[in-house]
Amino acid sequence: MLTPAVEEQLVRRAHSQRKGVRARHNGTSSLPASSLRRRPAVRRQCRLMGCGASVVAPEAPKQLVLLGGGECGKTTIFKQITILHSSGFSDEKAMEWVPSIHRSLLRSMQVVSRRVRDSGKLEAMLPEDKERVTRVLEAADSATSTLTAALAADIKSLWENAAVQEVMHEADASGQHDGRDMRLDLDDNALFFLNKVEEIAKPGFRPSDEEILKVRDPTRTIETVDFQANKTKFRVIDVGGQRMERPKWNLTGEITAVIFVCALTEYNQVLREDVKQNRLKESINLFDIACNRRYPDKPIILFLNKLDLFEEQIKKVDLNVCFPAYKGGKDAKRALEFIRWKFTSIIKDKDKDIYIKETTATDPKNMEHILNSVYEIVLRQNLTQSGFG
Ligand SMILES: Nc1nc2c(ncn2[C@@H]2O[C@H](COP(=O)(O)OP(=O)(O)OP(=O)(O)O)[C@@H](O)[C@H]2O)c(=O)[nH]1
Ligand SMILES: [Mg+2]
């Protein structure tokens, strides 16, 4: 009799010979062997090779998919899983994030410099500072630009400039200044990177785990990571959340549970791809589709993410900017309760298993704790469904 591992190999080989499927990232294909085995051609080849009903099927990994709108934190959670359960980031892998960090820094200073220019503050600047603004704007406009030491020195000098700090101050707080909306379209962790621009520009700079977790790089592919937790095989799938990426959400293969991610700070943000649409309302619509239409019979774990940023933001911006019916004021606990209610009230099947977790995806300790409870939920669910619970 064939061992499960050999059978798994034969099933996969039979499938990839026929379809030309290449193993993806981390040595896994995008489909579990169990779903491949259901295909007639694979079953046929399996029979020819001598694997039949008497073979004990290998345990298929529990597949968890990360869904949610753009920038809510899916890839950050995926990176945390890679750090915690897979091999982490080798030097080579870590260096792959350097261009993203450079791009993010340049983009941030470009956004701030534009505001300095458009608000008339440029006129009051010294000639050398005006030249710095021009150089930063030209570099950020060029798709190939890298963060040279000279450019980093310009950014550092501008970052300490009074006009730039004034712009940042006006954009902070409620984002309202003299009755105008002064918010800046900056990445969440822009300040973190701007404060260390010179270090980042040094030759041979190797990003730390924290820097990798904090950089923004929109997902354009489907990534998977395989690992073992609680003696069980898991596979987590990460897909892009921006509108143009969502056709890729039509995943094949058995999904064990959905981790739906929403950033709590979204109540005061609009989509990058549609500035007329509030991000939190878009997330609730997507949750409705995932919960009630696409995965009605799957457990859903809702991550209300960016708790760290939300706790700061809610002190300045009332949740009623998004939901006028909310009367709880700038209080984190009450605002959270209201957001939780907004999500749970749209679930049609009142018996559906929904678990809600408040998370800070950039915090390794918080994520380790949360992820362990997710694996427990999934395993408990599985036992219940198989009649052993
Ligand atoms: N401070 C803080 N930043 C976070 C948190 N979660 C995610 N971020 C940051 O938010 C930005 C976007 O996170 P991603 O994980 O890339 O978002 P995503 O959902 O994968 O976005 P798409 O790939 O476009 O769908 C990154 O800069 C992250 O570091 C959090 O809990 N706290
Ligand atoms: Mg992503």
Residue-wise pLDDT for 247-306, tens only, equals 988 887 789 999 999 999 999 999 989 999 999 999 999 999 999 999 999 999 999 999
Q: What are phi and psi of 239, to 5 degrees?
A: -125, 160
Looking at the CA of 361, name the nearest ligand.
Answer: 1
| Best mean pLDDT range from 20-29, 177-186, 228-237 | 228-237
Beta-carbon neighbours within 5 Å of ion ligand 2: 74-75, 219
CB 239 within 8 A of CB 65: yes
Pocket test for ligand 1, best of 105, 188, 260 (most atoms within 8 A of CB): 188
**Mean pLDDT over the full length of the chain:** 84
For the chain, percent of residues with pLDDT exceeding 70: 79
For the question of residue 22 being annotated catalytic, the response is no
357 ligand 1 Cβ < 6 A:
no
Q: Is 164 annotated as a binding residue?
A: no
pTM for the full predicted model: 0.83
Give which of 133, 110, 109 is closest to 121, Cα–Cα. Answer: 133
CB 298 within 8 A of CB 255: yes
For the chain, percent of residues with pLDDT exceeding 90: 66
Quote the pLDDT of residue 23.
30
Position 142 pLDDT exceeds 70: no
Q: Is 340 annotated as a binding residue?
A: no
Quote the pLDDT of residue 353.
83
Average pLDDT in the 47-69 region? 70
How much distance in Å is there from the Cα of 119 to the middle of ligand 2? 33
Higher-confidence position of 191 and 381: 191
Position 111 pLDDT exceeds 70: yes
Choose the catalytic residue: 37, 216, 235, 279. Answer: 216
Position 44 pLDDT exceeds 50: no
Q: Tell which atom from ligand 1 comes closest to the C-alpha of 104.
A: 27
242 ligand 1 Cβ < 6 A:
yes
195-225 pLDDT per residue, tens:
999 999 999 999 999 999 999 999 999 999 9
Residues in CB range of 30: below 8 A, 6 or more apart: 21, 24, 222, 224, 237, 251, 252, 253
**Cα 200 → chain centroid:** 23
Quote the pLDDT of residue 351.
86
How much distance in Å is there from the Cα of 351 to the middle of ligand 1? 31
Q: Is 252 annotated as a binding residue?
A: no
Pocket test for ligand 1, best of 67, 71, 363, 367 (most atoms within 8 A of CB): 71
Quote the pLDDT of residue 180.
62
310-319 pLDDT per residue, tens:
999 999 999 9
Higher-confidence position of 216 and 21: 216
Give which of 27, 31, 16 is closest to 63, Cα–Cα. Answer: 31
Quote the pLDDT of residue 29.
36
Residues in CB range of 133: below 8 A, 6 or more apart: 113, 116, 117, 122, 125, 158
Choose the catalytic residue: 129, 238, 266, 318. Answer: 238
Pocket test for ligand 1, best of 65, 76, 97 (most atoms within 8 A of CB): 76
Upper half-sphere CA count for residue 317 (Cβ side, 13 Å):
24
How much distance in Å is there from the Cα of 66 to the middle of ligand 2? 9
Determine the 3-state secondary structure of 238 from DSSP: strand
